């Protein structure tokens, strides 16, 4: 299973590319429920705040639009892929940044799963953040993966 990069967002076409992975004994269905429950992200991921799903509700869904803050940036976000318990991806935009963030959940033989997340970014803010804080996104995305698998 691989990321389905939209036009212009493939790693080779993007100035910023972040990859994180975790293998966990946690059931893929549990990881999925935690991941799509965007309203609760601030409870498990300290780098997320002010999550609001358009139309209300707590969970992401195919085509969902939501706003949230992360890394000090307020983002307008749209879910572009949604395959329950397997994959979810979104495009997030703000002044100076346009990002594609994808997640893959792969069941492991004998239980548990592997969770892979990759993100590519474009824009002045994205480039500046990468230059000033070169490993910050990997650090925080790994914390998010750890929380999803806890």
Q: CATH no. for residue 133?
A: 3.30.530.20
How many separate domains does the chain show?
1
Angstrom CA distances, 88 to 51, 65, 95, 115, stand at 17, 13, 24, 11
- 97 part of a folded domain: yes
Helix axes 124-132, 136-149, angle to 10 degrees: 90
Q: What percent of the chain has pLDDT over 90?
A: 87
- Tell me the pLDDT tens digit for each residue of 33-75: 999 999 999 999 999 999 999 999 999 999 999 999 998 899 9
- 13 part of a folded domain: no
Q: Which domain holds residue 83?
A: 28-149
Angstrom CA distances, 24 to 10, 119, 122, 142, stand at 27, 21, 31, 13
- 134 part of a folded domain: yes
- 99 part of a folded domain: yes
- 4 part of a folded domain: no
- 3 part of a folded domain: no
- 8 part of a folded domain: no
Contact 77, 90 (CB under 8 A): yes
Residue 9 dihedral angles phi and psi, to the nearest 5°: -110, 0
Which residues, other chains included, contact 114 with Cβ-Cβ below 8 Å and sequence gap of 6+? Answer: 21, 22, 23, 24, 104, 105, 106, 108
Model pTM? 0.94
């Amino acid at each position: 299973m691989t990321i389905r990069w939209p036009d212009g967002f493939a790693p080779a076409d993007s100035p910023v590319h972040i990859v994180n992975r975790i293998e966990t004994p946690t059931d893929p269905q549990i990881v999925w429920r935690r991941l799509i429950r965007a309203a609760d992200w601030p409870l498990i991921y300290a780098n997320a705040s002010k999550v609001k799903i358009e139309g209300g509700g707590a969970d992401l869904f195919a085509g969902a639009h939501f706003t949230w803050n992360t890394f000090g940036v307020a983002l307008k976000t749209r879910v572009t892929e949604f395959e329950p318990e397997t994959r979810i991806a979104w495009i997030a935009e703000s002044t100076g940044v346009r990002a594609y963030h994808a997640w893959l959940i792969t069941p492991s033989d004998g239980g548990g799963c592997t969770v892979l997340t990759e993100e590519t970014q474009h824009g002045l803010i994205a480039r500046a953040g990468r230059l000033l804080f070169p490993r910050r996104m990997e650090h925080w995305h790994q914390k998010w993966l750890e929380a999803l698998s806890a």
